[in-house]
């Protein structure tokens, strides 16, 4: 069945539905992604890092076009390669990619992803490293002047898998087979997306990643103040020592122990008595808190360091949390405003994994899955550029990728093509016409 006649009528007119519209696209706004990509030169540079093993005399689809097709598809909300069996015929996406004929099929894109697994480990590692250098360079270029301070947020999150993927492991903590990718952000900017096995600690390879980031950032900004921020999973004595030797500040979660609990016991007892007094006098408060500075030296440390303790009593009971830091400032301000600010990373995780499908690691080979994570990361960089440059000062400047996609990409469009021009006639009923045109103009401005 290719058409349908509905039973109801509109103003005495019969209603017919079919798929004979021709070059009509549901993602007419995808040209916005191409404008961002042209400004950054991202896909063009990244595609050159993935070797093209094909016979040059038998090529139908250009390598860069296949690369753009995959990244733009993810950014536009199409996670699976199977989507491209029909999506390859979308005229708006073809125009954004830069072709006039059907694009690569699902098997063609699958073979492109498989190239990563055909490289040697050292070649694949070099490719991923160079793609991260591109992302870091985009971050550096996004600043008009050297920043005074940068806070690097490190976090690992689970990537559940359900097949026989290479490198998968069972995690009792997550209740299934998974990977444990490491993500590093600076504000809303993604800097690192590194696939790791789940049977390693959160801090696995984090010191090496931090070292490379510091080296890259200080090569451009020698005087920038860099702060490493992470939860207790990233605490390692050697990492603290490295930070101190290389003038990198840190604020890291620290697990409680008997010594720290003894130091806090008097304050904990005072909070407990205060809570009972409030309860007796029917004073309704969600919690009472106190913050302490503790000069503490663990057995593995060569010198003492500053521990900030958050001591809380609420309806559930006593709650003690600790961080180790060399940052100056008030204990409460450091914990509540500086350390807890890392919680905003969860929004970035959701965008990257749920909105841009970085957790769609269903390839059988390890390096092909890492390449998929990089595709999603490049899509994130494009969207961040749209937000930062194209939508600054608008109502969509802080919108997440779901909203941006719905408002700016998923626009119905009639695509008219002839020998002289391509015209995209977007829906007149689009909700964000002014923001779309403003973003497009800003991204195209030199």
DSSP string, 295-364: EE--TT-SS-EEEEEEEEEESS-EEEEEEEE---S-HHHIIIIIIGGGGGHHHHHIIIIIIS-TT----S
CA dist 376 to 89, 294, 404, 406, Å?
A: 22, 43, 16, 18
Query: Within 13 Å and on the Cβ side, how many CA atoms surround 414?
Result: 6
- pLDDT of amino acid 280: 87
* Residues 176 and 163 sit within 8 Å (Cβ to Cβ): no
pLDDT(363) > 90: yes
pTM, to two decimals: 0.94
Question: Of 241, 230, 191, which is closest to residue 214 (Cα–Cα)?
Answer: 191
CB hemisphere CA count around 123 (13 angstroms): 10
Whether 180 and 214 have beta carbons less than 8 Å apart is answered as no
The pLDDT score that the predictor gives to residue 233 is: 94
**From edge to edge, which strands make up the β-sheet containing 189-194?**
189-194, 182-186, 149-156, 225-230, 248-254, 318-325, 305-314, 287-296
Residue whose token pair is 């605490």: 235
pLDDT tens figures, 29-41: 999 999 999 999 9
Q: Give the residue carrying structure tokens 């702060």.
A: 227
pLDDT the model gives residue 1: 54
Reported residue count of the chain is 446
Angle, CA 261 vertex, CA 255 and CA 263 arms, to 5°: 120
Dihedral (C-alpha) 181, 186, 191, 193: value to the nearest 10 degrees?
10
% of the chain exceeding 90 in pLDDT: 88
Sign of CA dihedral 326, 328, 331, 333: negative
pLDDT tens digits along 417-429: 988 999 999 999 9
d(CA 99, CA 69): 10
Q: Does the structure show a pLDDT above 90 at 227?
A: yes
Q: Partners of 85 in the beta sheet?
A: none
State yes or no: pLDDT of 211 exceeds 60.
yes
Question: Tens digits of per-residue pLDDT, 114-171?
Answer: 999 999 999 999 999 999 999 999 999 999 999 999 999 999 999 999 999 999 999 9
Q: How far is CA 5 from CA 1, 21, 115, 238, 319, in A?
A: 11, 16, 47, 71, 64
Residues 6+ apart with CB under 8 A from 126: none
pLDDT of residue 9: 83
**What confidence category does residue 279 fall into, taking pLDDT thresholds of 50, 70 and 90?**
confident
* Model confidence at 240: pLDDT above 70: yes
Q: Name every residue whose Cβ is closer than 8 Å to that of residue 175 and which is 6 or more positions away in sequence.
A: none
pLDDT at 446 over 80: no
CB burial string 49-64: b at 16+ within 10 A, e below: bbeeeeeeeeeebebb
- CA dist., res. 420 & res. 436, Å (int): 25
Inter-residue contact 154 to 234 (CB < 8 Å): yes
% of the chain at pLDDT higher than 70:
99
Q: Which pLDDT belongs to residue 3?
A: 74
At residue 198, does pLDDT exceed 80? Answer: yes
Burial of 304 from C-beta contacts in 10 A (0-12 / 13-18 / 19+):
exposed
CA distance 359 to 373: 7
The DSSP code for 389 is I
Q: How far apart are CA 311 and CA 274, in angstroms?
A: 13
């Amino acid at each position: 069945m290719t058409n349908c006649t509905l039973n109801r009528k509109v103003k005495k007119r019969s209603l017919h539905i079919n798929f004979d519209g021709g070059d009509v696209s549901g993602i007419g706004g995808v040209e916005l992604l191409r404008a961002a990509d042209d400004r950054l030169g991202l896909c063009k540079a990244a595609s050159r890092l993935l070797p093209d093993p094909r016979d040059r005399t038998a090529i139908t689809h250009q390598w860069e076009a296949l690369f753009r097709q995959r990244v733009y598809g993810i950014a536009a909300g199409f996670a699976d390669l199977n989507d491209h069996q029909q999506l390859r015929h979308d005229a708006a996406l073809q125009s954004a990619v830069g072709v006039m004929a059907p694009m690569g099929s699902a098997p063609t894109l699958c073979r492109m992803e498989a190239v990563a697994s055909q490289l040697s480990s050292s070649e694949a590692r070099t490719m991923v490293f160079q793609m991260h250098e591109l992302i870091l360079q985009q971050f550096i270029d996004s600043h008009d002047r050297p920043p005074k301070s940068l806070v690097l947020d490190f976090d690992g999150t689970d990537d559940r898998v359900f097949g026989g993927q290479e490198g998968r492991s069972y995690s009792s903590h997550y209740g299934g087979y998974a990977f444990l990718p490491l993500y590093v952000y600076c504000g809303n900017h993604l800097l690192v997306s590194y696939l790791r096995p789940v049977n390693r600690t959160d801090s696995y390879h984090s010191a090496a990643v931090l070292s490379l980031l510091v080296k890259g950032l200080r090569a451009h900004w020698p005087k920038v103040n860099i702060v490493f921020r992470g939860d207790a999973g990233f605490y390692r004595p050697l990492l603290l020592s490295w930070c101190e030797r290389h003038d990198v500040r840190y604020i890291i979660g620290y697990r409680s122990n008997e010594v720290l609990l003894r130091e806090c016991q008097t304050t904990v007892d005072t909070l407990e008595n205060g809570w009972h007094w409030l309860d007796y006098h029917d004073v309704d408060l969600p919690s009472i808190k106190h913050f302490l500075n503790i000069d503490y030296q663990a057995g593995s440390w060569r010198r003492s360091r500053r521990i900030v303790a958050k001591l809380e009593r609420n309806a559930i009971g006593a709650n003690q949390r600790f961080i180790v830091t060399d940052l100056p400032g008030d204990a409460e301000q450091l914990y509540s405003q500086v350390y807890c600010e890392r919680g905003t990373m969860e929004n970035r995780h959701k965008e990257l994994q749920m909105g841009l499908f970085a957790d769609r690691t269903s390839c059988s080979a390890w390096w092909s899955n890492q390449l998929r994570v990089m595709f999603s990361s490049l899509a994130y960089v494009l969207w961040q550029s749209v937000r930062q440059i194209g939508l600054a000062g608008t109502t969509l400047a802080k919108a997440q990728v779901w909203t941006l996609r719905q408002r700016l990409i998923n626009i119905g469009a009639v695509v008219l093509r002839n020998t002289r021009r391509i015209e995209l006639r977007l829906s007149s009923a689009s909700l964000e016409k002014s923001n779309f045109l403003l973003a497009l103009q800003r991204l195209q401005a030199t």
